[in-house]
Amino acid sequence: MKMKRWISVLLVICAGVLLMGAADVTPPVPPSKNVYVNDYASSIFAEHREYFSSVSAEIDDLAGVQIIVLAVQNTGGLAASEYMEQIIRGWDQGGVLGNNAVFLLLDKDRKDIYIGAKGQTANAITQEQWNAILEEASPYFSGSNYSTALLECYKRVAMAVLSYHKVTPGDELLKRLDAGYIKSEAKTSYNMYIFIVLGLLVVLRGFNISRRYQKKYGKSTYNYKRKTFSKQVQEYDESDSDAIIELDDKD
């Protein structure tokens, strides 16, 4: 009995220690200046920090959505979803978040990226889409290239956010998001419509020419000339074939 009692006491103590450890986890405080990029794990390249900052600022102006990149060493034992909730709640209370925000959270120790959102933008990306985005970025984790992994995720998330809010980015922003394929597809579709219209114009023009000819010379004359021309072509073909046969006979 005493042994069981001591085991129970130890289990209670261990559970208390774990809970205390989880409670002591304090997510990063709201930034005072640049809300778009926050690297607490020294994992984001300088050029990528500049990229995230400038592109997020432009998207914020266009769509009213903050895309925030956050890198931490770990979440202190908290589940990523719980850690993200604490960040969103704390930063929102800190007055740095707008009505719509998307977080990309890098957990360096787990070698994984998580996504969280506030407002309507939470519906911009489905779980299936996010899984596909992570699949594209996964090769960079094998080489511990966390910054590039974040970059690949960021580009696709940014395009999904713009599409969800029905915002058309300019050519320069499209180029920076490496989404030129959208522009080229639109251009191809546009050219196809041009060719269709030109084809219709050619057909209509030919139809108008024939009508004017019939009106000037009469329908019977027009048909007669067509038949005469066809007969001449047929006679020429027959005479040509006869010549070939005679030539073969001489051999």
Identify the weakest region by mean pLDDT among 18-27, 40-49, 60-69, 81-90: 18-27
Confidence of residue 247 (pLDDT cuts 50, 70, 90): very low
Mean pLDDT across 92-113: 91
* pLDDT at residue 22, rounded to an integer: 39
Residue type (1 letter), 160: A
Taking CA atoms, 85 is separated from 22, 68, 124, in Å, by 14, 14, 18
Contact (CB, 8 A) for 44 and 71:
yes
| Residue ranges of domains in the chain | 25-178, 183-250
Which range has highest mean pLDDT (69-73, 136-140, 195-199, 232-236)?
Answer: 69-73
Average pLDDT along the chain: 74
Confidence of residue 215 (pLDDT cuts 50, 70, 90): low
Mean pLDDT across 233-240: 53
Confidence of residue 200 (pLDDT cuts 50, 70, 90): confident
Separation between Cα atoms, residue 130 and residue 128, nearest integer Å:
5
Q: Is the pLDDT of residue 93 over 50?
A: yes
* pLDDT at residue 24, rounded to an integer: 42
Separation between Cα atoms, residue 189 and residue 196, nearest integer Å:
11
Separation between Cα atoms, residue 115 and residue 125, nearest integer Å:
9
* pLDDT at residue 205, rounded to an integer: 67
* pLDDT at residue 59, rounded to an integer: 95
Contact (CB, 8 A) for 66 and 102:
yes
Q: Is the pLDDT of residue 249 over 70?
A: no
Query: What percentage of the chain carries pLDDT values higher than 70?
Result: 60
* pLDDT at residue 194, rounded to an integer: 60
Give me the architecture of the 25-178 domain, per CATH.
Roll (3.10)
Separation between Cα atoms, residue 248 and residue 251, nearest integer Å:
5
Separation between Cα atoms, residue 142 and residue 132, nearest integer Å:
17
**Which residues lie below 8 Å from residue 166, measured CB to CB, with a gap of 6+?**
none
